[in-house]
C-alpha cells in the first residue's frame, strides 16, 4: 500500500462509507498524476520550440505540424519517456528519483528567474517582498535538490545528472554552431552591400511564353542575391523572366494570433518584392508568388507547380549553403529545403538546379 492509502484509511476510519471515500481519494490522486504527466507533454515541446527560436536546440523543434502542434518536441518527449521506462524496467523508486531531481532543478531555475525579475525586472514587477519570498523558495528548492541528489545518487541520481549535463552541453554546442553559421551567412550579406547595380535598363512585361527562371528564396539576403547573380552570369541572355517564390512558415514563433499571421504574410510579400526590384534594376522582367503554411516544402512545391502551369518554359533554382567540412550533424541542424523540393519536383518532371554557396 502507498503512504497516501495508509494515511487516507487512518483519517477516514470510523466514518460512514470510509472505504468508498478512500477509493475516491486514491482515484482523484491518480487523476491528478495523469494531469501532471500530460503537463510535461504539453509544456515540454513548448519549451523546446521557444529554445529552437533562440537557437539552443535544432530549429526543426520550432516547426508546427498540420494540427499546429510542436510535433517533433512531442515525439522527443515520448521517446525519452519510453527509454527511461525500459531502462528502469518500470521501477517506481528509480523513476521517482529521476523525476524528483529534475523537478527541483526546474523549480530552482524558476525561482532564480523570479528573484532576478523581482530585483532587476521592469519597474512594475520589482518588489523586495517578492524577492524575499522567491529567495526563500529558491533556498528550499536548492536544498531539496542537493539533498536528493546526494542521498539518491547511487539509486538513479547519477544517471539523471549525466543525462541532464549532456543535454545542457548539447544545447550550448548547438547554440555555438548556429552562431558561427549565422556570422558566415552575415558575411554573404556584407559581400553584396556595395553591389553596383546598373541603372537605366528598360524592363518589359513578363512573358509566360519565354524561358523563365524561377528562384526559390527565403529572407532577403546574401544567399538569395548571390543565387540571382549566378543565374544572370551563368545563363546570360537565356532567361527572359524571373519569378521569385517564397513561403512564410507558421512556426511556434509566428503562431501567436491573427496580427502575427498577417505580419508573416506581409514579410513574405516584402521579401519577394525586394528581389523583384533588384531584378528589374538589372533589366529582367520579374514576378512573385508567395504563400503561408506550416510546412515550407509543401508550400514551395504548390507554388512551383502553379508557376509551371502559368509559364511554359521554366527552370527552378535554389541556393544552398554548403560547408567546407561536411559533418554528420549538419543535416540534423539545418533543413535540406532545396534538396527536398528538388526531389519532389523531379517526380513531377520538373528541373530544379541547386546552386551552392560555400561557407567555412
Nearest to 351 by CA among 320, 318, 303: 318
Residue 66 has pLDDT above 60, yes or no: no
- Say how far apart CA 337 and CA 290 lie, in whole Å: 16
Residue 357 pLDDT level (bands cut at 50, 70, 90) = confident
- Say how far apart CA 70 and CA 251 lie, in whole Å: 8
- Say how far apart CA 262 and CA 73 lie, in whole Å: 26
Q: What is the pLDDT of residue 133?
A: 93
Helix (H) or strand (E) holding 233: helix 222-234
Given a contact cutoff of 8 angstroms between Cβ atoms, the answer to whether 333 and 59 are in contact is: yes
Of the listed ranges 19-28, 99-108, 135-144, 331-340, the one predicted with least confidence? 331-340
pLDDT tens digits for range 225-253: 888 888 988 888 889 999 999 887 776 55
Q: What is the pLDDT of residue 32?
A: 82
- Say how far apart CA 136 and CA 323 lie, in whole Å: 50
Residue 67 has pLDDT above 70, yes or no: no
- Say how far apart CA 255 and CA 261 lie, in whole Å: 7
Residue 29 has pLDDT above 70, yes or no: yes
CATH code 3.40.50.620 region(s) in the chain: 212-359
- Say how far apart CA 359 and CA 226 lie, in whole Å: 13
- Say how far apart CA 235 and CA 245 lie, in whole Å: 19
Q: What is the pLDDT of residue 56?
A: 92
1 vs 330, residue with greater confidence = 330
Sheet holding 352-359, edge to edge: 286-293, 241-249, 212-216, 314-323, 352-359
Q: What is the pLDDT of residue 183?
A: 83
Q: What is the pLDDT of residue 156?
A: 79
- CA torsion sign for 119, 124, 130, 134 is negative
The distance from CA 158 to its chain's CA centroid, rounded to whole angstroms, is 30
Residue 276 has pLDDT above 80, yes or no: yes
Q: What pTM does this model have?
A: 0.73
3 state SS of 353: strand
38 vs 172, residue with greater confidence = 172
In CATH, what number does 212-359 get?
A: 3.40.50.620
In sequence order, the 6+-apart residues with CB closer than 8 A to the CB of 182 are: 55
Q: What is the pLDDT of residue 251?
A: 61
Mean pLDDT over 54-58 rounds to 89
Amino acid at each position: 500500500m502507498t503512504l497516501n492509502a495508509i494515511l487516507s484509511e487512518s483519517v477516514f476510519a470510523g466514518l460512514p462509507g470510509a472505504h468508498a471515500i478512500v477509493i475516491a481519494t486514491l482515484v482523484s490522486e491518480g487523476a491528478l498524476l495523469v494531469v501532471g504527466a500530460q503537463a510535461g507533454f504539453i509544456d515540454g515541446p513548448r519549451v523546446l520550440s521557444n529554445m529552437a527560436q533562440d537557437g539552443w536546440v535544432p530549429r526543426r523543434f520550432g516547426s508546427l505540424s498540420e494540427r499546429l502542434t510542436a510535433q517533433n518536441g512531442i515525439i522527443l518527449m515520448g521517446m525519452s519517456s519510453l527509454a527511461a521506462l525500459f531502462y528502469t524496467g518500470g521501477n517506481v523508486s528509480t523513476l521517482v528519483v529521476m523525476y524528483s531531481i529534475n523537478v527541483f532543478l526546474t523549480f530552482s531555475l524558476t525561482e532564480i528567474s523570479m528573484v532576478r525579475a523581482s530585483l532587476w525586472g521592469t519597474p512594475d514587477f520589482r518588489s523586495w517582498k517578492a524577492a524575499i519570498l522567491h529567495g526563500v523558495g529558491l533556498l528550499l528548492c536548492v536544498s531539496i535538490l542537493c539533498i536528493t541528489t546526494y542521498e539518491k545518487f547511487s539509486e538513479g541520481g547519477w544517471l539523471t545528472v549525466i543525462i541532464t549535463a549532456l543535454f545542457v552541453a548539447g544545447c550550448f554546442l548547438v547554440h555555438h554552431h548556429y552562431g558561427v553559421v549565422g556570422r558566415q551567412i552575415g558575411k554573404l550579406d556584407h559581400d553584396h552591400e556595395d553591389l553596383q547595380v546598373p541603372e537605366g535598363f528598360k524592363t518589359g512585361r513578363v512573358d509566360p511564353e519565354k524561358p523563365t527562371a524561377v528562384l526559390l528564396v527565403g529572407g532577403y539576403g546574401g544567399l538569395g542575391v548571390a543565387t540571382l547573380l549566378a543565374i544572370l552570369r551563368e545563363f546570360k541572355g537565356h532567361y527572359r523572366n524571373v519569378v521569385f517564390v517564397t513561403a512564410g512558415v507558421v512556426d511556434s514563433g509566428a503562431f501567436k494570433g491573427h496580427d502575427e499571421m498577417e505580419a508573416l504574410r506581409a514579410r513574405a510579400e516584402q521579401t519577394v518584392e525586394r528581389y523583384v526590384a533588384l531584378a528589374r534594376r538589372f533589366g529582367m522582367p520579374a514576378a512573385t508568388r508567395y504563400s503561408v503554411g506550416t510546412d515550407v516544402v509543401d508550400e514551395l512545391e504548390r507554388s512551383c507547380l502553379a508557376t509551371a502551369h502559368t509559364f511554359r518554359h521554366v527552370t527552378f533554382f535554389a541556393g544552398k549553403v554548403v560547408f567546407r567540412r561536411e559533418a554528420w550533424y549538419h543535416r540534423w541542424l539545418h533543413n535540406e529545403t532545396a534538396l527536398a523540393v528538388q526531389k519532389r519536383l523531379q517526380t513531377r518532371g520538373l528541373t530544379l538546379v541547386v546552386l551552392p554557396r560555400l561557407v567555412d
